């Protein structure tokens, strides 16, 4: 077996084949001097809306902006509560907090790692105004019951699809199911910019207009400010980069799905290892391939010594972060999220992973497992 190093993420391998095409697109922006918003962003917005099967897309500065502006544009503010999962990146709850609202957590499903839809109803109060399901690791949350609850309680739904560009739920694209879909194009994402960028998708023309105002200092017309907004524009260079990369997104996601299937075949039945599940009728885009195992930190160290790059998503669920100590949560409040935080180990995952690299990771993992590895109980 090859002892070649396997990086956790290889953006060079991802970008080199399309580098000339991307550079040509960036040169168009430079020639037009269209750097802040402008036609290249508009072109990408139209293409990404088509890709997501939505009527509109609004490009913004980053994924956190996309969540925050969505909340503001949907009228979420002080005194309101927003239900989400604690197993997510901090940006999900930062946006809620900066909108003036309070995050209310619901634990995750032990199989999908997305919000447990059976627990949402109990978290709804008269102050609840929105639900933000997180499509974690590239798999959509179970959206039908979420939308049914939202309709019955007059709530809005914002899909946190930062990790799910191209994921499918019952034939529908991530970002096309809720009232709004929030996307990050951070460089490591399935569709990644060459810098920071984000977007919101929606089918609601009034929401699109409000989103455009919030990203543009609250303006509909230059120097006429209808609301207090923010500087949240996508820049033209990122619009051009994303426009090129979008053409290759399905191909890249297919590469991730191939890698995930190979991991599953090589690691099936490995004692002490719980493999991630793709739950029908959805189609994951495998932004992260996170296994679970006891002794995770020891295995992570040993894999690093073997030249295999791995990561952890996310070791401390949001409800236990110091930043949210004021909410008064303690360990034991959301046991599935906590158990996952203790046991998740993210293996290398990117479209260009070769079979040999995947075999190197699988054999290195097996060699790094403690001799008496025990299964992880969900």
Q: What is the dihedral of CA 66, 72, 73, 76, to 10 degrees?
A: 120
Quick check: 376 pLDDT over 60? Answer: no
Give the model confidence (pLDDT) of 19-65 as tens digits.
999 999 999 999 999 999 999 999 999 999 999 999 999 999 999 99
Q: Phi and psi for 245 in degrees, rounded to 5?
A: -65, -30
What are the Cα distances from residue 273, in Å, to 116, 132, 145, 298?
A: 22, 30, 30, 14
CATH 3.40.50.300, domain 250-368, yes or no: no
DSSP letter string, 291-348: EE-TTHHHHHHHHHHTTB--B-S-SS-GGGSGGGGGG---TTSSHHHHHHHHHEEEEP
Q: What is the DSSP letter of 119?
A: G
Say whether 181 sits in a helix, a strand or coil.
strand
Quick check: 13 pLDDT over 70? Answer: yes
CATH class, 13-246 region: alpha beta
Quick check: 2 pLDDT over 60? Answer: no
pLDDT at residue 281 in the model: 85
pLDDT at residue 342 in the model: 98
Q: What is the DSSP letter of 151?
A: H
Quick check: 375 pLDDT over 60? Answer: no
Reported residue count of the chain is 378
Q: What is the DSSP letter of 377?
A: P
Determine the Cα–Cα distance for residues 64 and 112; give it in Å rounded to an integer. Answer: 23
Where do the structural domains in the chain lie, given as residue ranges?
13-246, 250-368
Give the model confidence (pLDDT) of 57-103 as tens digits.
999 999 999 999 999 999 999 999 999 999 999 999 999 999 999 99
Question: Within 10 Å of residue 366's Cβ, how many Cβ atoms?
Answer: 14
Contact 313, 290 (CB under 8 A): yes
DSSP letter string, 245-288: HHTTHHHHHHHHHHHHHHHHHHHTT-TT-BPP-PPTTEE---S-
Would you place residue 4 in the very low, low, confident or very high pLDDT band (cuts 50, 70, 90)?
A: low
Lowest mean pLDDT among 223-227, 249-253, 367-371: 367-371
Quick check: 308 pLDDT over 80? Answer: yes
pLDDT at residue 1 in the model: 38
Cα first-last separation, the chain = 33
Determine the Cα–Cα distance for residues 110 and 117; give it in Å rounded to an integer. Answer: 12
Two structure tokens written together for 69 = 């502006």
Give the model confidence (pLDDT) of 271-286 as tens digits.
999 999 999 889 999 9
pLDDT at residue 343 in the model: 98
13-246 and 250-368 have identical folds: no
What are the Cα distances from residue 232, in Å, to 42, 77, 168?
A: 15, 19, 28
Would you place residue 372 in the very low, low, confident or very high pLDDT band (cuts 50, 70, 90)?
A: very low
Determine the Cα–Cα distance for residues 61 and 65; give it in Å rounded to an integer. Answer: 6
Would you place residue 371 in the very low, low, confident or very high pLDDT band (cuts 50, 70, 90)?
A: very low
Q: Which residue has the tokens 């927003």?
A: 82
pTM: 0.96
Question: Within 10 Å of residue 226's Cβ, how many Cβ atoms?
Answer: 12
Question: Within 10 Å of residue 107's Cβ, how many Cβ atoms?
Answer: 22
| Cα radius of gyration rounded to whole Å, the chain | 21
- The DSSP bridge partners found for residue 200 are 58, 182
């Amino acid at each position: 077996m090859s002892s070649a190093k396997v990086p956790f993420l290889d953006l060079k391998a991802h970008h080199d084949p399309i580098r000339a095409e991307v550079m040509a697109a960036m040169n168009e922006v430079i020639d037009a001097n269209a750097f802040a918003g402008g036609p290249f962003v508009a072109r990408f917005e139209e293409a990404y809306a088509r890709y997501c099967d939505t009527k509109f897309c609004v490009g913004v500065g980053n994924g956190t902006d996309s969540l925050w502006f969505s909340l503001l544009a949907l009228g979420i503010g002080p005194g309101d509560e927003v239900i989400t999962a604690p197993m997510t990146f901090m940006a999900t709850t930062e946006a809620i907090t900066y909108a003036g609202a309070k995050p209310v957590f619901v634990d995750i499903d032990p199989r999908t790692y997305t919000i447990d839809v059976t627990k949402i109803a109990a978290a709804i109060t008269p102050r609840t105004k929105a639900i933000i399901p997180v499509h974690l690791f590239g798999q959509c949350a179970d959206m039908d019951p979420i939308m049914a609850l939202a309709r019955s309680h007059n709530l809005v739904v914002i899909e946190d699809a930062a990790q799910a560009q191209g994921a499918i739920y019952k034939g529908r694209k991530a970002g096309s199911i809720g009232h709004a879909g929030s996307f990050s194009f951070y460089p490591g994402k399935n569709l990644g910019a060459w810098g920071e960028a984000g977007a919101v998708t929606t089918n609601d023309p009034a929401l699109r207009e409000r989103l455009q105002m919030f990203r543009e200092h609250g303006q509909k017309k230059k120097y006429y400010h209808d609301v207090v907004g923010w500087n949240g524009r996508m820049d033209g260079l990122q619009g051009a980069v994303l426009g090129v990369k979008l053409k290759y997104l399905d191909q890249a996601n297919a590469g991730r799905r191939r890698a995930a299937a190979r991991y599953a075949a090589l690691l099936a039945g490995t004692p002490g290892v719980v493999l991630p599940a793709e739950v029908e009728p959805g189609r994951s885009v495998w932004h992260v391939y996170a296994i679970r195992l006891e002794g995770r930190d020891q295995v992570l160290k040993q894999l690093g010594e073997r030249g295999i790059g791995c990561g952890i998503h996310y070791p401390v669920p949001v409800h236990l972060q110091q930043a949210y100590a004021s909410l008064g949560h303690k360990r034991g409040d959301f046991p599935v999220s906590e158990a996952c935080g203790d046991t998740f180990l993210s293996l290398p995952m990117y479209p260009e992973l070769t079979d040999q690299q995947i075999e190197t990771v699988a054999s290195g993992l097996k060699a790094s497992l403690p001799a008496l590895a025990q299964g992880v109980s969900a």
